[in-house]
Amino acid sequence: MIAIIDYGMGNLHSVSKAVERLGFEAVVTADPQLILDADGAILPGVGAFGDAMQNLRNTGLDEVARYYAESGKPLLGICLGMQLLFSRGEEHGDNEGLGLMEGSVVRFQGDYKVPHMGWNKLSFHQGSPLFNGLEEGYVYFVHSYHVKPENGDNLLATTDYNQDVTAIVGKGNVFGMQFHPEKSGELGMQLLGNFLALATGENRIAEGQLQQG
């Protein structure tokens, strides 16, 4: 079972439906015990970094997420959820993040369109179980802030948007995707499927169980 952490700021429905389309059981929940008992957990997010961290603190789900990460079971942050994995974010002031990886979340700066919105190609930087059986391809981004990791070992994939932009991160059992895999076509669903396979030990894509829809 995959827990989708509900702290009031997530694209919960689309993520839940994507997990189910891949053949896995999903539960959207704010219940700490349900989250901690899950095979894998997903921290989605849409909105502002500071507001999201305030919601997590108010509900105690910040500590639940940290405890889950320490348990060794796979945790995935999506979009804002990936940004929250890091130390700090500058959106609407200086805000402390979950601190599961070292780095900061900063606004795009330059003479180009912000937000970064559209299909961009991933470049894989190192091996990861998320990339099993996959080739580099295009996924869909919508964001005005991007992650600058302090440790290059945590950088799994980038995309090019007037600079190298962090797209996928990983540290041990903790992963993040800046784009929305559930809205990123076949490659996005395969990446999400590989995370779910890592969490549950069941590779539904390899077994031909990926359901379109």
**Which residue is catalytic, options 20, 70, 79, 91?**
79
**pLDDT category, 20, cuts 50, 70, 90?**
very high
Structure tokens of 102?
Answer: 């070292």
Q: Does the pLDDT at position 213 exceed 50? A: no
Give helix 49-59 / helix 61-71 axis angle, nearest 10°.
90
- Mean pLDDT (whole number) for 13-26: 95
Q: Which residue has the higher pLDDT, 57 or 213?
A: 57
For range 19-23, the mean pLDDT: 96
What's the predicted TM-score (pTM) here? 0.94
- CA–CA separation, 134 and 92 (whole Å): 37
pLDDT band, residue 96 (cuts 50/70/90)? very high
If you average pLDDT over residues 103-113, what whole number do you get? 95
User: Which residues does residue 121 pair with via DSSP β-bridges, in sequence order?
Assistant: 138
Whether the pLDDT of residue 210 is over 70: the answer is: no
Query: Residue 127: how many CB atoms within 10 A of its CB?
Result: 9
Percent of the chain with pLDDT over 70: 95
Evaluate if residue 212 carries a pLDDT over 60: no
Q: Decide if 180 is catalytic.
A: yes
Domains present along the chain, CATH in parentheses: 2-200 (3.40.50.880)
pLDDT cut 90: percent of the chain above it: 88
- Burial of 43 (C-beta count, 10 Å sphere; 0-12/13-18/19+): buried
Position 203 scores a pLDDT of 64
Nearest 10 degrees: Cα torsion 87, 89, 95, 100 = -20
pLDDT of residue 207: 45
Res 204: pLDDT? 55
* 20, 180, 202, 207: the active-site residue: 180
Beta bridge partners of 30: none
- pLDDT (tens digit per residue) in 167-205: 999 999 999 999 999 999 999 999 999 999 999 997 655
* Catalytic-labelled residue, pool 90, 182, 202, 207: 182
182 flagged as catalytic: yes
- Write down the pLDDT at residue 197: 96
Torsion of the alpha carbons at 74, 37, 86 and 50, rounded to the nearest 10: 140
pLDDT of 206: 45
pLDDT of residue 11: 76
| pLDDT at residue 171, as a whole number | 97
pLDDT of 202 reads 79
- The question of whether 135 is a catalytic residue gets the answer no
